[in-house]
Chain A
């Protein structure tokens, strides 16, 4: 191998594809009929979605008594799933906003897809607090609206902050996504021959005409939105962690929670994005747009955040010991060696040990191995939330009220179903919208920008 030439920026899009080819390649899934593999995948996710419908139906009809939640463990699978899915949603905005501010060009190939995943993940997540309240048809009480009780919501409660954080996050992500899509809708409008499609694309492109007087404002707005989304994405998981940290339960009541949750969210989000992208680039032949270099960079971020999470696990134990608080100490020893030790050690192996493999370049660049590692990370991050939520509640201050939590079949149906919900949206997305931002990718192809910089 020749020495790396640092005088030249390495291109983020491999080869030097003609711009028109890029358009055609990205639009192809939209123009072609779904093939067999797609239909098989869709029927699997729809089947899982069926579990969701049945599980939720049972829950709505008979009430949340169908779940395994018991007296000390009032928060269980529903909140675990909520935190898990919100966490998944964090990678998208991180890629599209934070990496944008850091001028990381490799993000262009994956940003659109990751943002889409953010939206679907937050949608999935938002369902869980809704069903957790039991009477899901009365969610309006979460909002401060004038009502016949003349009561207002409690603005000092982290659960209310959560309502604001998650709904803001969803709205801003959606806007961000749509703004990014406008030029692509215009490209689709110009390309398509089909009348109905043309009408739809015309409506959504709003009449975009690639004017540079517009691009100028557009780039400014993108920058502003990225600037807003960056603290927003950090605030969302911080506030989710407040749901726990602001309470007084041992195992929850710690100040390390906000950074630890944010790191964990990015960690799991990147694992999920990486998993899905590996499949997408294979199916749609995007290997030169979503390059191996990009995947390697994602693996590096996973290594970083995975190590942060591992540090947080260690620090929690240290603080429990250092605080001298016997109840706190008991909680952590109980986590590692108590009735839920199995969950704790699954979490530790998946989250702390497995990403350390990414220290090796060979593994970082081997698609099958990185795929498996990312699956492990996803499993581990789900168990992390399980460990935090369930072990702390099951064995709290009063030994007389301790109880072991066992999920029921309805819990599992909803868990599996949430994956079905999420992946159904992902599949439909790949067929309905360009999964790579055409305008952005074209701008970073070699030779797409003027060669002389005389300003």
Chain B
């Protein structure tokens, strides 16, 4: 026994009134390091022990407010900075709609932080190696007795005085409590081989499972059904239509949008008279026209319509698009050339939709104007 270190001296009481009185007396005698253990909180004990009010409320306040702020900032960054999207005509940062999430995050962060702070900072839990653990004393106070203990490292500690004090308070049982030598001498090692092995096994199993799920499982039936759906490909035999054709001809007597048949084959002059450019000159139409011209016309006609292009010599040189003739042609007349082709120039009706052809014509007009600028055009 003598080689054990004393932790404190404990006394057991049977009545809640007695324990309050005991706590009060011990506090009045000037003991600082003592504790009262009861199966449930006793009213008035905080006053008897002269405990200061708990400071845990501040943790809730600080963490809760930080959580709220973090939630607001995160939502602002995500929906107003990083990837702004308009939802329902609301501003990118629409605070009223964020209130529910801010509230939930506040409550969540504050609750978790308060409890964690209580358990791990205030109580220094988990602590199953405390000297009180496993004692008869703790067994009794967990059920229906009320205990008080004065610790041996209190400045005023004197075994006989403490004993007398408890006896004068009508304690029903007295008992010294010692540190457990095994617990004191036990060294906690983090890098025990068993623990390391455990970590390795967990790591392997975990990464294996993740690999399997994301690279194999999600490509198996039925997870792949969304990705690999039955569909009709071009030129494939159809299983639905009786004639076996996957591609269908339009219903008789109908014309697809933008595919009105051209009425002026072989009559370019008539086309020049009748056709009117429906596309107004605008920034976007000119941009489209430039893009299409540079792609389809510039190889022969050059970027500026001079006819001296990068194909020079490998193909009959086309005439300049700035000729007197061309400048006097109507838009419809040029449209006829693009649609039908002219002599060695092929037709571009399959490459360019009608609207695109008109846009190219608008762009040619810009080129012509630029090459033959009038005095009044220069500012």
**What CA separation (Å) do A232 and B74 show in the bound complex?**
21
Asked if B16 and A449 make an inter-chain contact with CB atoms under 8 angstroms apart, the answer reads yes
**Complex contact B87–A156 (CB within 8 A):** yes
Are A212 and B49 CB-contacts (below 8 A) given A63-B225, A161-B101, A217-B122? yes
Surface stretch bound by A, among B51-59, B197-205, B278-286: B51-59
Q: How far is the CA of A137 from the CA of B112 in the complex (A)?
A: 27
Contact with A along B72-96 (1 / 0, CB 8 A): 0011001100110101101000100
Chain B 36-71 residues near chain A, CB threshold 8 A: 36-47, 49, 51, 53-54, 56-57, 60
* CB nearest neighbor in B for A190: B142
For the complex, is A5 an interface residue (Cβ under 8 Å from B)?
no
User: Interface SS of chain A: helix, strand, loop or mixed?
Assistant: helix
The answer to whether A443 touches B41 (Cβ under 8 A) is: yes
**B115 at the A/B interface (Cβ < 8 Å)?**
yes
Chain B residues lying within 8 Å of A363, measured Cβ to Cβ, are none
Q: Do residues B20 and A137 form an inter-chain contact, with CB atoms below 8 A?
A: no
Q: Whole-angstrom distance from the CB of A143 to the nearest CB of chain B?
A: 12
Task: Please report the number of residue pairs spanning A and B whose Cβ atoms sit closer than 8 angstroms.
Answer: 203
With contacts A155-B98, A165-B100 known, is A211 near B35, CB below 8 A? yes
A215→B218 contact, CB < 8 A: no
**A155 and B44: CB pair below 8 A?**
no
Give, as a whole number of angstroms, the nearest-CB distance from B41 to chain A: 4
- Decide if A224 touches B114 in the complex (CB within 8 Å): yes
Roughly how many angstroms separate A186 CA and B104 CA in the complex, as a whole number?
32
Q: Is A156 within 8 A of B119, CB to CB?
A: no
Let me know if A179 and B115 touch, CB within 8 A.
Answer: yes
A221 touches B114 (CB 8 A): yes
User: CA A331 – CA B77 in complex, angstroms?
Assistant: 41
| Complex: chain A residue closest to B20, CB-CB | A450
- How distant is the Cα of A78 from the Cα of B2 in the complex, in angstroms? 69
Q: With A172-B107, A206-B119, A450-B20 given, is the CB distance from A211 to B36 under 8 Å?
A: yes
* In contact, B40 and A220 (Cβ under 8 angstroms): no
Write out the residue numbers on chain A whose beta carbons fall within 8 Å of the beta carbon of B41.
Answer: 212, 215-216, 218-219, 443
Is the CB of A440 closer than 8 A to any CB of chain B? yes
- CB nearest neighbor in B for A172: B111
Contact B45 A212 (CB under 8 A): yes
Question: How far is A124 from B143 in the complex, measured between Cα atoms in Å?
Answer: 36
Q: Which residues of B contact A220 (CB under 8 A)?
A: 53-54, 56-57
B78 touches A144 (CB 8 A): yes
Contact at B40–A213, with CB atoms within 8 Å?
no
Chain A interface residue count, CB cutoff 8 Å, equals 74
Is A216 touching B54 in the complex (CB atoms < 8 A)? yes
Tell yes or no: A338 within 8 A of B by CB: no
Determine the chain B residues whose CB is within 8 A of the CB of A179 once the complex forms. Answer: 115
Query: Are B223 and A212 within 8 A (Cβ)?
Result: no
Contact B115 A156 (CB under 8 A): no
In the complex, the answer to whether B87 meets A228 with C-beta atoms within 8 Å is no
The smallest C-beta distance from A160 to any residue of chain B, in angstroms, reads 7
Q: How far is the CA of A214 from the CA of B35 in the complex (A)?
A: 10
Considering the complex, give the chain A residue whose CB is closest to the CB of B127.
A207
Of B128-136, B160-168, B258-266, the stretch lying at the interface with chain A is B128-136
- Does the CB pair B143–A187 fall under 8 Å? yes
Q: Is the pair B111, A225 in contact by a Cβ cutoff of 8 Å?
A: yes
Tell me if B110 counts as interface (CB < 8 A to partner A): yes
Cβ A175 vs Cβ B144 within 8 A = no
> Is A271's CB within 8 Å of the partner chain B?
no
B111 A210 Cβ-Cβ under 8 A: no
- B35, B46, B111, B126: the one contacting A228 at CB < 8 Å is B111
| Known A-B contacts A207-B133, A209-B138, A210-B39; A448 and B16 likewise in contact (beta carbons under 8 Å) | yes
Partner of A135, one of B122, B132, B226: B226
Interface readout for A165-194 with B: 1 if CB under 8 Å, 0 if not? 100100110011001000100110011000
Chain B residue with Cβ nearest A154: B87
Shortest beta-carbon distance, B107 to chain A, in Å? 5
Contacts of A239 in B (CB 8 A): 100
B101, B105, B122, B138: the one contacting A210 at CB < 8 Å is: B138
| A20-B143 contact, Cβ under 8 Å, with A175-B112, A235-B104 | yes
Q: What is the distance, in angstroms, from A426's C-beta to the closest C-beta of chain B?
A: 25
Are B47 and A228 in contact, CB atoms less than 8 angstroms apart? no
Question: Contact residues of A with B, CB < 8 Å?
Answer: 18-20, 23, 60-63, 135, 137, 144, 150-152, 154-158, 160-161, 164-165, 168, 171-172, 175-176, 179, 183, 186-187, 190-191, 202-203, 206-221, 224-225, 228-229, 231-232, 235, 239, 242, 439-440, 442-443, 447-455
Subset of 27 A-B contacts with CB under 8 Å: A62-B222, A135-B226, A150-B82, A155-B79, A160-B101, A164-B101, A172-B111, A202-B128, A207-B125, A207-B133, A210-B38, A210-B39, A211-B36, A212-B42, A213-B51, A220-B53, A221-B115, A224-B111, A224-B114, A228-B60, A228-B110, A232-B107, A450-B20, A450-B42, A450-B43, A450-B44, A451-B17
Known: A165-B104, A211-B36. 10 other contacts (CB 8 A): A150-B83, A172-B108, A209-B37, A211-B35, A213-B36, A228-B111, A235-B100, A239-B100, A448-B40, A450-B17
